[in-house]
Amino acid sequence: MGLDFDFEGESNKPSIKRILLEVFIWVAQIAAVIFLAYIIVYYCVEKTNVIGSSMESTLAANDPIIINKFAYRISDPKRFDVIVFKQSGKEHSFYNIKRIIGLPGETVLIKDGNIYINGEMIEEYSIVEPMINYGLAGEEISLEDNEYFVLGDNRNNSEDSRFASIGNITRDEIIGKAAIRLSPFNFISKLNLKGQED
């Protein structure tokens, strides 16, 4: 009786295990990349384009920008932040970009071309034209605990919190902070500021 031993079959076993291991690692890497991309887009950053001219001269139509979606998970929106928001169930369902003027719990009034917060006139942060139409803010507006009053920097060509079609923005409607303009590159917080005029 001879000893029959399949040397070829035995030598193939390690290579099959190695191939299966490599396939598993490859699948795990792809899954990890997809998961990481989802986390980044959903929780951290997102790219979008500016729609319309309501933020000129800070941002122009079609400017590509990066939204910092993480910023307001660790801190509250601040006055003069440029924010991206989306109002579901309203006339517009796209991303909207405006500047925060009034904070939760404050009162907002526009009178004689000036903005008054809690009865005190505030100094504009960015370079804007004097407002012609005060809209709803021609009378004092009281903001609820989760509401923000926003304006476009192109004050006379902006649909914003002065008008019922937009109204006050609630915290849960805010997608994030408009952080970076990609082309030409700059931090949005550095654009169109008073004191930069030459």
Structure tokens at 30: 């792809």
* pLDDT exceeds 90 at position 91: no
Fold of 50-190: Umud Fragment, subunit A (2.10.109)
pLDDT tens profile 137-189? 999 999 999 999 999 999 999 999 999 999 999 999 999 999 999 999 999 99
Element (H, E) at 95: none
With residue 162 as reference, give the H or E element that holds it: none
CA 39 to chain centre: 15
Q: Is the pLDDT of residue 198 over 50?
A: no
Strands 141-142 and 82-85: unpaired
Determine the pLDDT at residue 26: 92
Q: What span, in angstroms and rounded, lies between the C-alpha atoms of 86 and 66? A: 15
pLDDT tens digit sequence for 36-85: 877 766 678 999 999 999 999 999 999 999 999 999 999 999 999 999 99
Tokens of 46: 């997102």
DSSP 8-state assignment for residue 110: E
Going by their DSSP bridges, the two strands 64-68 and 120-121 should be labelled as unpaired
Question: How far apart are the C-alpha atoms of 169 and 160, rounded to whole Å?
Answer: 9
For range 103-118, the mean pLDDT: 97
pTM (predicted TM-score): 0.81
In 3D, which of 60, 46, 39 has the Cα closest to residue 188? Answer: 60
Q: Which residue has the higher pLDDT, 184 or 92?
A: 184
Task: Supply the Cα-derived Rg of the chain in whole angstroms.
Answer: 27
**Catalytic sites, residue numbers:** 54, 98
Higher local confidence (pLDDT), 179 or 17: 179
Give the residue carrying structure tokens 């500021």.
193
**What phi, psi does 183 have (nearest 5°)?**
-145, 115
